[in-house]
């Protein structure tokens, strides 16, 4: 064995990401993830799935799970993912994920998983009562990504550690099975104007589906009235907007609303401030509400339309899963050969 740098992956670029079907999506998910998916699909082959296998790492009501999956799929479609361009599917409809995850369970080391901060947060004080699936969750995530040999993974900052683990698993698999460059070492794509959308009630907390106050977030399913009202009620301060972005330092609520405006308008905070400097929130909020309603209103209407016809979503997801398997099955077949498995 030598210490030479590992052979780099030479295959095509591919984008992959997924969202868990647990709880409603909000503006933070839209700006931080869904907008990026819709853009990236036109740049590289893109695989976007609903992570129902990850969802059951904590108990989910079987009577509701399919509807939760449809809800996320509706959000994907309503925010611009096009099933004729991207591959959109439920994770559980592509058995190759779970099969590769088993092999990766044997590649990943306990020490690696012991370092995962998300498991520590989610399992809380009683980790012996957490499911084993919650512990190996990041291994399944690695399989989600690598079964498509994805090279780019748009995710939030909180997923960076899972992407590191994915790279470690890919590297160790390539090494242990003498398959240089077989799996890519995928890169997270965390940048973007919507990377940190904060609560409308507390500029220091991230906008979150688990916040007990519904006024803290704009849900994708909120109608125009609800959107406008939540922005009207958003916490602010009494100062007018400053001339420069530095003037927002120490004013987290003001900064958040300006950042949301910029992200929705596709502009920068500096541009927003150039337009609104010197004006108070009495003037700024109605403008932000109008902008938010003009972008989020149609998304919410489209989600409602899609949800009223689950047949359409189900057809898209079934076709998407077939298409996904066309890429996943050959990868798994190669992996099984490398590992020395039957058939």
Active site residues: 122, 206, 209
* Residue in 145, 273, 288, 306 binding ligand TRP, rule: CB under 6 A: 145
Q: What is the x/- site pattern for ligand TRP, positions 157-186, by CB under 6 A?
A: --x---------------------------
Cα separation, 297 vs 291, in Å, equals 10
CB of 127 vs ligand TRP, minimal distance in Å: 18
CB of 18 vs ligand TRP, minimal distance in Å: 4
Using the minimum distance from each CB to ligand TRP, give the nearer residue, 20 or 41.
20
Using the minimum distance from each CB to ligand TRP, give the nearer residue, 57 or 236.
57
* Residue in 9, 18, 21, 306 binding ligand TRP, rule: CB under 6 A: 18
Closest CA to 186 of 144, 156, 149: 149
Using the minimum distance from each CB to ligand TRP, give the nearer residue, 11 or 298.
11
User: Does the protein bind ligand TRP through residue 236 (CB under 6 A)?
Assistant: no
Cα separation, 228 vs 218, in Å, equals 9
User: Does the protein bind ligand TRP through residue 92 (CB under 6 A)?
Assistant: no
Cα separation, 20 vs 18, in Å, equals 7
Q: What is the x/- site pattern for ligand TRP, positions 48-87, by CB under 6 A?
A: ---x--x---------------------------------
User: Does the protein bind ligand TRP through residue 197 (CB under 6 A)?
Assistant: no
User: Does the protein bind ligand TRP through residue 46 (CB under 6 A)?
Assistant: no
Using the minimum distance from each CB to ligand TRP, give the nearer residue, 169 or 288.
169
Question: Cα torsion at 197, 199, 200, 204 (round to 10°)?
Answer: -100
User: Does the protein bind ligand TRP through residue 203 (CB under 6 A)?
Assistant: no
Stretch that binds ligand TRP, among 151-159, 247-255, 271-279, 331-339 (CB under 6 A): 151-159
Judged by CB under 6 A, the number of residues near ligand TRP is 12
CB 246 within 8 A of CB 176: no
User: Does the protein bind ligand TRP through residue 20 (CB under 6 A)?
Assistant: yes
For 260-320, the DSSP string reads: HHHHHHTS-HHHHHHHHTT--HHHHHHHHHHHHHHHHHHHHHHHHHHHT-HHHHHHHHHHH
**Edge-to-edge strand ranges of the sheet holding 87-90:** 87-90, 46-50, 15-19, 152-154, 187-189
Which residues make beta-bridge pairs with 152? 15, 187
Which residues make beta-bridge pairs with 49? 18, 89
Q: How does 271-296 read in b/e, with b if 16+ C-beta sit within 10 Å?
A: ebbeebeeeebeebbebbbeebbebb
Binding residues for ligand TRP, rule: CB under 6 A, are 16-18, 20, 51, 54, 141, 144-145, 153, 155, 159
């Amino acid at each position: 064995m030598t210490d030479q740098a590992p052979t780099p992956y030479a295959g095509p670029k591919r984008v992959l990401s997924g969202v868990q079907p647990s709880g409603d999506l909000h503006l933070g998910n839209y700006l931080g993830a869904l907008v990026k998916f819709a853009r990236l699909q036109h740049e590289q082959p893109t695989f976007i799935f609903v992570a129902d296998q990850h969802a059951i790492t904590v108990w989910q009501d079987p009577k509701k799970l399919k509807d939760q999956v449809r809800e996320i799929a509706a959000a994907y479609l309503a925010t611009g993912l096009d099933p004729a361009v991207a591959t959109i599917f439920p994770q559980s409809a592509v058995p190759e994920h779970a099969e590769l995850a088993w092999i990766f369970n044997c590649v990943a080391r306990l020490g690696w998983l012991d370092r995962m901060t998300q498991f520590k947060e989610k399992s809380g004080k009683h980790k012996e009562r957490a499911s084993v699936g919650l512990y190996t969750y990041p291994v399944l995530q690695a399989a989600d990504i690598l079964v498509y040999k994805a090279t780019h993974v748009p995710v939030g900052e909180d997923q960076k550690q899972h992407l590191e683990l994915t790279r470690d698993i890919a590297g160790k698999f390539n090494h242990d099975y003498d398959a240089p460059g077989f799996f890519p070492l995928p890169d997270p794509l965390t940048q973007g104007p919507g990377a940190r959308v904060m609560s409308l009630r507390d500029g220091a907390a991230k906008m979150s589906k688990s916040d007990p106050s519904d006024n803290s977030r704009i849900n994708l399913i909120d109608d125009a009235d609800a959107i406008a009202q939540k922005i009207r009620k958003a916490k602010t301060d009494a100062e007018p907007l400053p001339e420069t972005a530095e003037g927002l330092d120490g004013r987290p609520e003001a900064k958040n609303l300006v950042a949301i405006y910029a992200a929705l308008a596709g502009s920068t905070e500096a541009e927003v401030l150039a337009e609104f400097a010197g004006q108070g929130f009495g003037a700024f909020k109605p403008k932000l509400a109008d902008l938010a309603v003009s972008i989020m209103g149609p998304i919410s209407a489209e989600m409602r339309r899609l949800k009223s016809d689950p047949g359409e979503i189900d057809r898209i997801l079934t076709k998407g899963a077939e298409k996904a398997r066309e890429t996943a099955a050959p990868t798994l077949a190669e992996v099984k050969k490398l590992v020395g498995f039957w058939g």
